[in-house]
Amino acid sequence: MVWVRDNNTTFEPSKTHFTLISKRTSKKFDLCFPYPRLMFDGTPVKTRKSVKLVGYVFEEQMAWGEMIAAIAKKARCRVGMLCKLRHVMDDDNMKNMYTSFIRPIMEYGSVQFMGAKATHLKKLDVVQKVAERIGNFIVESLGCRREAAAIAFTLKLLNGDGRGVLKDYVPTLITEFSNKDFVLGPRHEIRRLQLVDRSNLRMDHLTSFGTVI
């Protein structure tokens, strides 16, 4: 409320919610760490299983299931409209319609939910297969495009093109090997791509990606 007064801003307390994000699923965790009693200008802040923010749906366990389901539903509606155009468009135009108006929906924030369950991501793959069958075309898989987007994002950081706080993170390559975790031939090695924080943030903000070369 101090920030609100200092900036002459008002908020609606009844429209304010919070979500407790955790990977724990047992009921014992809820008993040990119950939801706190948060108050906003004298109004209790209600809890929600998920919250939507700038197009992303953040769930309690960050499984991305709800967001992917909503994206798949929206994409299916556009595939239905694409089906109605089948008799007036050739295969190339059908492919262009799909890549321009349907696939971008399923790729919004796709790098974020690369770690989602295969059952969730399969919903998006099914939509693309239906569009390919209707339009009589074949395009690269959504999984490959997600991986390509992640690589492109890493290369931007390497080039120093990160925006905002991302400028403080620079990927560096270091060589590590652990016989306990990996069994490789004599010509292989483990390289870990780490995003090193150059600011004064804590080390727990370090993010790493493992790649077998």
Close Cβ partners of 115 (under 8 Å, ≥ 6 residues apart): 64
Structure tokens at 19: 């979500």
What would the pLDDT profile of 10-57 be if each residue is shown by its tens digit?
Answer: 777 777 877 777 766 655 545 455 556 777 777 788 878 888 888 888
* Residue/partner pairs of 15-19 with CB below 8 Å, 24 or more apart: 16/40, 16/43, 16/45, 17/45, 17/46, 17/47, 17/48, 17/51, 18/45, 18/46, 18/47, 18/48, 18/51, 19/47, 19/48, 19/49, 19/50, 19/51, 19/58, 19/59, 19/60
pTM of the model: 0.65
Determine the Cα–Cα distance for residues 105 and 48; give it in Å rounded to an integer: 25
Mean pLDDT of 66-92: 92
In tens, the pLDDT along 134-146 reads 999 999 999 999 9
Determine the Cα–Cα distance for residues 89 and 102; give it in Å rounded to an integer. Answer: 16
Residue 125 has pLDDT above 80, yes or no: yes
